[in-house]
Amino acid sequence: MKTLKGPAIFLAQFIGAEPPFNRLDTIAKWAADLGYVGVQMPTGGADSVFDLARAAESQTYCDEIAGVLAENGLQITELSTHLQGQLVAVHPAYDDLFDGFAPPELRGKPAQRQAWAVDQVKAAAKASQRLGLTAHATFSGALAWPYLYPWPQRPAGLVEEAFAELGRRWTPILNAFEDSGVDVCFEIHPGEDLHDGATFERFLEQVGGHRRANILYDPSHFVLQQLDYLDFIDRYHPRIRAFHVKDAEFRPNGRSGVYGGYQNWVDRPGRFRSLGDGQVDFGAIFSKLAAYDYPGWAVLEWECALKHPEDGAREGAPFIRDHIIRVTPHAFDDFAASGVDAGQNRRLLGL
């Protein structure tokens, strides 16, 4: 069995214009002072402290980044292309909303935006290789999401064609990650075509069971869908290669349920919470991941409708550290082993 690595923190919700969150060296010190030993690095957005294109081309730059983090006792857990991965597949209904994920000169140009996104995610494969990483965090994008609810009745073949096209778009990207020796970990997330186990299976079929097509496991998204997040681990643990430690709660009533009634996050029955404030059974999750030899990191993703992010980050490090199970090197009852040999086993069976 393997002991999970961590605690780590996803920096996407913290990088910003104000110190200490505006520079890599200062945000690294902030994270280390809170007790984190790893950071998941976002690679998109105007406030990014990481130059993805440069990292893909320059080993020197990657070594410099790793050095800045190492000075604070940190290492990169995974790079993230959530924003760019989303743009690999966008239904036209969402073009305007997702244009903000792309550079200004590509907005209103969906074909060019998609090509840029593909290049970005492929660059992350090379950058991950240079940094010595084995997993990468991203989104799948979505073509079928507007048709999630089967009304009006979906025409035959619509969903199948959506996933066939998603497979066609991602297969060359997965091959690039194969060349770099890095797993692509799709966050299973509403709004993506890969939002539960059934849709992940559809996608896996379209990419021929590609060994680099894997999962970023985040139980909070399963709570909001009312999906069994523990059974999910039992079913898909061979493909789980990244882990967001994020809490959530679901408190339905006679007025609103899973769909949320178009309400803001704070008013929805299902909402994300800071670690320990929601309903997720993290003791069971960490136990299952340890039992299944999960090889990666436990990474805090802070998203909460109520609590201040800095409080969530401060509380998150000890929460994760206290849940990581240092796995035992031997069975608890080894002290009572009788040293029986094969011959005696047969005698004990009356053979």
Per-residue pLDDT band at 16 (split at 50, 70, 90) = very high
In terms of Cα–Cα distance, which of 93, 95, 92, 89 is closest to 108? 95
Per-residue pLDDT band at 61 (split at 50, 70, 90) = very high
Question: Of all helices (H) and strands (E), which one includes residue 176?
Answer: helix 158-180
Task: Give the mean model confidence (pLDDT) for residues 143-155.
Answer: 97
pLDDT of residue 107: 94
- Give strand pairing partners of 5: 297
Other residues' Cβ atoms within 10 Å of the Cβ of residue 54: 15
pTM of the predicted structure, to 2 decimals:
0.96
pLDDT of residue 1: 81
To the question of domain 5-348 being in CATH 1.10.3720.10, the answer is no
Other residues' Cβ atoms within 10 Å of the Cβ of residue 293: 11
pLDDT of residue 120: 98
pLDDT at 49 over 80: yes
| Mean per-residue pLDDT of the chain | 96
- Surface-to-core class of residue 40, CB atoms within 10 Å of its CB (0-12 exposed, 13-18 middle, 19+ buried): buried
End-to-end CA distance of the chain: 34
pLDDT of residue 177: 98
In terms of Cα–Cα distance, which of 280, 289, 249 is closest to 266? 249
Q: What is the pLDDT of residues 68-124, one digit of tens each?
A: 999 999 999 999 999 999 999 999 999 999 999 999 999 999 999 999 999 999 999
Phi-psi region of 314 (alpha: psi -120 to 50; beta: other; left: phi over 0): alpha
Strand 270-273 versus strand 213-217 pairing type? unpaired
* Separation of alpha carbons 80 and 139, rounded Å: 9
pLDDT of residue 337: 77
In terms of Cα–Cα distance, which of 150, 170, 171, 168 is closest to 159? 150
pLDDT at 45 over 80: no
